[in-house]
């Protein structure tokens, strides 16, 4: 049995128990012995950074339309909790600024996922706003910035080279992913649990990458990954899955 336990990262907050990426989902972490969370950053039409997984608000709110076509004030009028349960009616979209205050107050660590499809000048603005926001993080807060979007992650790395980066991989890991990981100077690779084999994990770790695997909601898989020496697992059930 491995002595050092894998880190559990609350995926979109404690998203099994509260609506993802809401204050309620982040606040659910506090009574747990969980110090890492994952969240997704997008930008509104008026240049405000907000935490939401999908490019549109359709699935997780009572509204419709793309995040980057709405102002923050418009998005704040929507309900982001009721789709999950009536108990969470009234949850609003969360800003990155709010989360940074929360992280600083509770001494949490974060994996920020760059999740936007804005391009060109708007994309540069998105990265500049993130840069500015990160300056407010406590110096002892550990962060990893990850993305499936390699050109975007590369631009982020050029802007903030001291921040650890993670390459998100959707599907089997190939040699071209390794080249991409090297191009963004990634300390971490974030593989999809459905495709990762023990042999592949071993090869990647021997190359010096730390592995943070998504999304692990089953205790047996959690225990297996722990035995493999994986660094961390993203989970919707940080309280409920035990190693």
Residues that bind Mg ion in the complex, under the rule CB under 5 A? 40, 113
The minimum distance between CB 12 and ligand G3P, in angstroms, equals: 7
Instruction: Rule CB under 6 A: choose which of 80, 112, 234, 237 binds ligand G3P.
Output: 234
190 binds, among ligand G3P, Mg ion, none (CB under 5 to 8 A by kind): ligand G3P
Judged by CB under 6 A, which of 17, 113, 180, 235 binds ligand G3P?
113
Give the nearer residue to Mg ion in terms of CB position, either 89 or 215: 215
Q: Does 168 participate in binding ligand G3P (rule CB under 6 A)?
A: yes
Q: What is the DSSP string of the chain?
A: --SSPPEEEEETTTTTTS-TTSHHHHHTTTTTT--EEEEEEEE-TTS-EEE-SSSBSTTTSS--SBGGGS-HHHHHTS-SSTTT-GGGTTPPPEEHHHHHHHHHHHT-EEEEEE-----HHHHHHHHHHHHHHHTTS-TT--EEEEES-HHHHHHHHHH-TTSEEEEE--SS--HHHHHHHHHTT-SEEE-BTTT--HHHHHHHHHTT-EEEEB----HHHHHHHHHHT-SEEEES-TTT---
Minimum CB separation from Mg ion for residue 113, in Å? 4
Q: Which two tokens stand for residue 109?
A: 């660590």
Out of 26, 34, 37, 40, point to the residue binding ligand G3P (CB under 6 A). 40
Find the residue with minimal CB distance to ligand G3P: 214
From residue 171, give the alpha-carbon distance in Å to each of 60, 103, 196, 210: 25, 31, 9, 18
Which of 22, 38, 78, 116 lies at the binding interface for ligand G3P (CB under 6 A)? 38
Q: Is residue 8 near ligand G3P by the rule CB under 6 A? A: no
Size of the site for ligand G3P (CB under 6 A): 11
Residue with Cβ nearer Mg ion (39 or 123): 39
Q: Is 190 in the site for ligand G3P (CB under 6 A)?
A: yes
| Binder among 47, 53, 159, 160 for ligand G3P (CB under 6 A) | 53
The binder of 234, among Mg ion, ligand G3P, none, by C-beta within 5 to 8 A per type, is ligand G3P
**Encoding tokens for residue 182?**
């090297």
123 near ligand G3P (CB under 6 A): no
CB of 60 to ligand G3P, least distance (A): 12
Q: What sign does the dihedral 175-180-181-185 (CA atoms) show?
A: positive
- Does 20 bind ligand G3P (CB under 6 A)? Our answer is no
d(CA 134, CA 175): 32
Q: Residues interacting with ligand G3P, by CB under 6 A?
A: 11, 38, 40, 53, 113, 146, 168, 190, 214-215, 234
């Amino acid at each position: 049995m491995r002595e050092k336990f894998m880190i559990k990262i609350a995926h979109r907050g404690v998203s099994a128990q509260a609506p993802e990426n809401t204050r309620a989902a982040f606040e659910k972490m506090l009574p747990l012995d969980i110090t890492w969370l994952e969240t997704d950053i997008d930008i509104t039409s008026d240049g405000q950074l907000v935490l939401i997984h999908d490019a549109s608000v359709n699935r997780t709110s009572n509204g419709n339309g793309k995040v980057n076509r709405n102002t923050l004030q418009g998005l704040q009028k929507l309900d982001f909790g009721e789709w999950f349960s009536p108990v969470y009616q009234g949850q609003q979209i969360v800003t990155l600024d709010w989360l940074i205050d929360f992280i600083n107050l509770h001494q949490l660590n974060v994996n920020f996922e760059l999740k936007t499809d804005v391009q060109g000048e708007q994309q540069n603005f998105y990265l500049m706003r993130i840069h500015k926001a990160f300056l407010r993080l406590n110096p002892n807060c550990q962060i990893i910035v990850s993305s499936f979007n390699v050109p975007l992650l590369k631009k982020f790395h050029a802007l903030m080279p001291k921040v650890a980066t993670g390459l998100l991989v959707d599907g089997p890991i190939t040699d071209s992913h390794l080249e991409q990981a090297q191009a963004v100077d990634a300390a971490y690779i974030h593989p999809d649990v459905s495709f990762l084999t023990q042999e592949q994990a071993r090869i990647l770790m021997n190359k010096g990458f730390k592995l943070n695997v998504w999304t692990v909601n089953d205790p047996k898989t959690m225990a297996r990954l722990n035995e493999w020496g994986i660094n961390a697992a993203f989970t919707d059930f940080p309280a409920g899955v035990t190693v």
